[in-house]
Amino acid sequence: MRTEPAGEPPWWRRAVVYQVYPTSFADGDGDGWGDLAGIRSRLPYLQWLGVDAVWLSPIYPSPHADFGYDVADYCDVDARFGDLASFDALLEEAHARGIRVILDWVPNHTSDRHPWFLESRAARASTRRDWYIWRDGTRDGLPPNNWRSAFGGPAWTFDDRTAEWYLHLFLPEQPDLNWARAEVREAMHATLRFWLDRGVDGFRADVVHLIGKDPALPDQDASLGEVDRVAIHDDPRTHELLRGLRRVLDEYPGERMMVGEVNLRDTLRIATYYGAGDELHLAFNFLALEAGFDPAAWRTLVETVGEALVPRAWPTWVLSNHDNPRHRTRFGGSERRARAAAVLLLTLRGTPFLFQGEELGLEDAFVPPAARLDPGGRDGARAPLPWTPEPPHGWPAPPFLPFPPEPGGRSVERQRGRPGSTLLLYRGLLALRRRSAALRDGDLQLVDAPPEVLRFVRVAAGERLEVAVNFSPEPAALAGAEGSTIMLASDDLAPGQPFAGAVPPECAVVLSPSVPAQKRP
């Protein structure tokens, strides 16, 4: 395991993490579903792109009621994706290429086919009964409380066999574990150690803010909307559980880390999940996913993160993932906007998370109703990646979902050879970030700008870069920046040239105040 030289920030503060959704990334065995052999075969691509780490969405044995977020065995690989040997081979090759690997880990719930739940469900007297959360209903035969499932409907299912209700904040096939039981905590810690022993660099912990629960299971404020009711769970008990997880990670050398999915829409609350540096290493902040192509929303978010988080914790940034429409789609299908947002994502202070295919400027696929697979309606963002121009686009067999729009033109192969492509923009951004201490480690200061422009400087010892994103359809003048050197622009402006003073419409620029180097004759 590699360790950073003393005094350097830990790797996960400097990394750009790339989310691989294994089902739709690359297919190694020709069955139309992505797999670990497919991912391994594309590691040279990820290395060429310049990412530091990959996060694999769940690869564990699963009935796939929620595409692997219903885990039937935490210590194995689903046959659809390969086996432990193919995982070890992938990990070894990723490390040899300088790419870290983090696994999705699903602590809040298991599959209803997990042996623990089968045992729990079998009888009220089962020794594993209270590994899950069972309760009587109300006298009127209603569920124990008013909690709602994230997929709609009550968060409770009545089980005829033992005439009690069990809790599931997601599908009925995803019963919630009872983290109040010491045996559950130990069993789940053991699943972390299983993968840490194999050499993984960390975990993305699924909806980890939900694991602590008030045993009284009080009703929620019924006046809240559906989304807020699901998102409201923010129980203080979770923090002690997170400290327990952190202690497990700290048993291992090599800066193993955990990034938590803290699905709360409040930066101040999210900040508490870092604890005093003894809980999560990183926490997602999904407000960025909701900011739209809107300068006011981004300014507020950057300010709030600066105030709430930066004094004691390291931020994260994300534009797209497997649970939401891709950002290009959210921005009305505009590639220009998506490219400007990419510059923002990769120049903010914090660890950026990319979702596979955003570097290709993909939009969501249109999935006809009859072909839809996901209970949450998220198939469009999970469509397969096009690797080559001709169908089936580098998949040995037609994949399980339709491709996103224009798969040939947006394929990896096509864009690799097309100057100015979105793929080459991402690669250039990753390279710039890698060689710039200001972008990786530096402070961020917002600079006054017209309302349609977000402007900030990044400063580290001896280096200062300025970033400006113009969200408007008109050019925007940038006071005092004339003559600085264009390091990179999302569109229209060539790097290495002096900046003429205006940012083109819906465009982002990275500027260096230094005088451009004289070209040799």
Q: Which of 300, 207, 314 is nearest to 261 (CA)?
A: 207
* 71 scored as a contact of ligand GLC (CB under 6 A): no
Whether a cis peptide bond, with omega within 30° of 0, leads into 392 is yes
Shortest distance (Å) from residue 300 CB to ligand GLC: 24
* 66 scored as a contact of ligand GLC (CB under 6 A): yes
Shortest distance (Å) from residue 177 CB to ligand GLC: 12
What are the distances in angstroms from CA 109 to CA 36, 103, 114, 206, 448? Answer: 24, 16, 10, 9, 46
**Contact yes or no for 118/129 (Cβ under 8 A):** no
Is residue 159 part of the annotated active site? The answer reads no
HEC string of 19-77? EECHHHHCCCCCCCCCCHHHHHHCHHHHHHHCCCEEEECCCCCCCCCCCCCCCCCCCCC
Tell me which of 206, 261, 364, 379 is the catalytic residue: 206
Shortest distance (Å) from residue 323 CB to ligand GLC: 5
In this complex, which beta carbon is closest to ligand GLC, that of residue 19 or of residue 347?
Answer: 19
Shortest distance (Å) from residue 104 CB to ligand GLC: 8
Question: Could you say which residues in the range 439-498 bind ligand GLC, by CB under 6 A?
Answer: none
Tell me which of 4, 226, 251, 482 is the catalytic residue: 251
Is residue 251 part of the annotated active site? The answer reads yes
Q: What backbone torsions phi and psi does residue 330 show, to the nearest 5 degrees?
A: -65, -30
In this complex, which beta carbon is closest to ligand GLC, that of residue 205 or of residue 509?
Answer: 205
Q: Please identify which residue in 170, 203, 314, 317 interacts with ligand GLC, judged by CB under 6 A.
A: 170
Q: Please identify which residue in 112, 206, 279, 379 interacts with ligand GLC, judged by CB under 6 A.
A: 206
Q: In what order do the strands lie in the sheet with 257-260?
A: 282-283, 257-260, 202-205, 100-105, 53-56, 17-20, 351-355, 316-318
The two tokens of residue 258 are: 């955990």
Coil/strand/helix, residue 479? coil
DSSP 227: H
* 69 scored as a contact of ligand GLC (CB under 6 A): yes
Shortest distance (Å) from residue 486 CB to ligand GLC: 37
Q: Please identify which residue in 53, 59, 99, 207 interacts with ligand GLC, judged by CB under 6 A.
A: 207
Residue indicated by tokens 């977020």: 69
- Give me the half-sphere count of Cα atoms (radius 13 Å) on the Cβ side of residue 39: 30
* 323 scored as a contact of ligand GLC (CB under 6 A): yes
Instruction: Map residues 251-270 to x or -, x wherever contact with ligand GLC holds by CB under 6 A.
Output: ----------x---------
Measure the CA–CA gap between 11 and 19, rounded to whole angstroms: 17
Question: Could you say which residues in the range 100-119 bind ligand GLC, by CB under 6 A?
Answer: 106
Number of residues forming the site for ligand GLC (CB under 6 A)? 10
* 234 scored as a contact of ligand GLC (CB under 6 A): no
Chain residues in the site for ligand GLC (CB under 6 A): 66, 69, 106, 170, 206-207, 261, 322-323, 376
